[in-house]
Structure 1
Amino acid sequence: MSDAWHLNDYQRAIEALIADAMAVHGEDVVTDDLIDEVIDGTFPKMTDTLYAELSRRSSAMLREHRKIRKGFVRRNFRRWRAGFDLLEQLIVISQETGQAINEALRPAAIEANDALFEAVITNHARAVQVSREIMTLMIGGFPDGALARWRTLHEIGVTSVFLSQQGPTVAKRYILHDHITSYKRALNYMEHHERANLEPIEDEVLVELKQANDQIISEYGPAMRHDYGWAAECLGKEKPIFVDLEIATGLDHWRPRVGTHKRDSLGGWDVIHALRQQERGFERVLVE
Structure 2
Amino acid sequence: MFRKFKRSRSVGKQPLTDQLADAVLEQIRKGFDPERVDELIAKAVPEFIDEMAPMLAGRIKKDKRTLRANRRAERGFDRRLAKQWGKALDLYQITLFMCIELGEGAARRDGEHLTPTEQNILEALTGLHVTACRVAGEVLTLLSHGHPRGALARCRTLHETAVIAGLIAESATDAVHCDLAERFLDHEIVGRRRDALQFQKDHIVLGEEPLEQEFLDEIERRYDEVITKYGADFKREYGWAKKFSPNDNFRELEEKASLSHVRPYYQWASSEVHCGARGLSHNFIEYRGITVRDVGKTNIGLIDPASMALSSLLQTTFALAAVKISDGVDMDAILHMRAIQEIMSACIDVLFEAQEGIDRAERKILKGMQKNR
Instruction: Give, in whole Å, the separation in 1 of the partners of 2:202 and 2:6.
Output: 35
Query: Relative to 1, partners in 2 of residues 1:7 and 1:117: Cα closer, same or farther, differing over 3 Å?
Result: farther
2:281 is aligned with 1:276: no
What is the 5 A alignment of 1:72-151? Answer: 72-109=77-114, 114-151=119-156
Is contact 1:179-1:212 (8 Å) kept?
Answer: yes
Name the CA distance, whole Å, in 2 between partners of 1:194 and 1:22: 45
Deviation at 1:80, TM superposition (A): 0.5
Greater mean alpha carbon deviation, residues 33-42 or residues 260-269: 33-42
The match for 1:255 is 263
* Equivalence for 1:50: 56
TM-score (norm 2): 0.66
CA contact (8 A) 1:22 1:29 kept: no
> Could you say what secondary structure the match of 1:199 adopts?
coil
Distance 1:118 1:42, change over 3 A: same
Matching residue of 1:28: 35
Distance 2:239 2:40 in 1: 55
CA distance in 1, matches of 2:20, 2:286: 37
Give yes or no for contact 1:91–1:131 (8 Å, CA) kept in 2: yes
- Residue type of the alignment partner of 2:211: I
C-alpha distance 152-18 of structure 1, shift in aligned 2 (>3 A): farther
1:235 corresponds to: 245
Cα distance in 2 for partners of 1:252, 1:27 equals 66
Structure 2 distance, partners of 1:223, 1:102, is 31
1:283 positional shift: 7.6
Find out whether 1:170 has 2:180 as its counterpart.
yes
CA–CA distance in structure 2, aligned partners of residues 130 and 190 of structure 1: 30
Partner of 1:4: 3
Instruction: Flag the 1:215–1:174 CA change in 2: closer, same or farther, 3 A.
Output: same
- Asked if the contact 2:3–2:66 (Cα under 8 Å) also holds between the matched residues in 1, the reply is no
- Deviation, structure 1 residue 92: 1.0
- TM-score norm. by structure 1 comes to 0.84
Is 1:209 the equivalent of 2:234? no
Q: Which has the larger radius of gyration?
A: 2
SS of corresponding position for 1:234: coil
User: Which among 28, 31, 39 is matched to residue 45 of structure 2?
Assistant: 39
Task: Check the 8 A contact 1:115/1:171 in 2, yes or no.
Answer: yes
Q: Is the 8 A contact 1:134 1:150 kept in 2?
A: yes
- Larger fraction in helix: 1
**Deviation, structure 1 residue 259:** 0.8
Indicate whether 1:218 and 2:228 are aligned. yes
The answer (yes or no) to whether the contact 1:144–1:265 under 8 Å persists in 2 is no
> Which residue of 187, 191, 207 corresponds with 2:201?
191
Partner amino acid, structure 2, of 1:62: L
Does the 8 A contact of 2:184 with 2:240 survive in 1? yes
Q: Name which structure has the greater RCO, CA cutoff 8 Å, separation 6+.
A: 2
| Count of aligned positions | 276
Q: Secondary structure at the match of 1:276?
A: strand
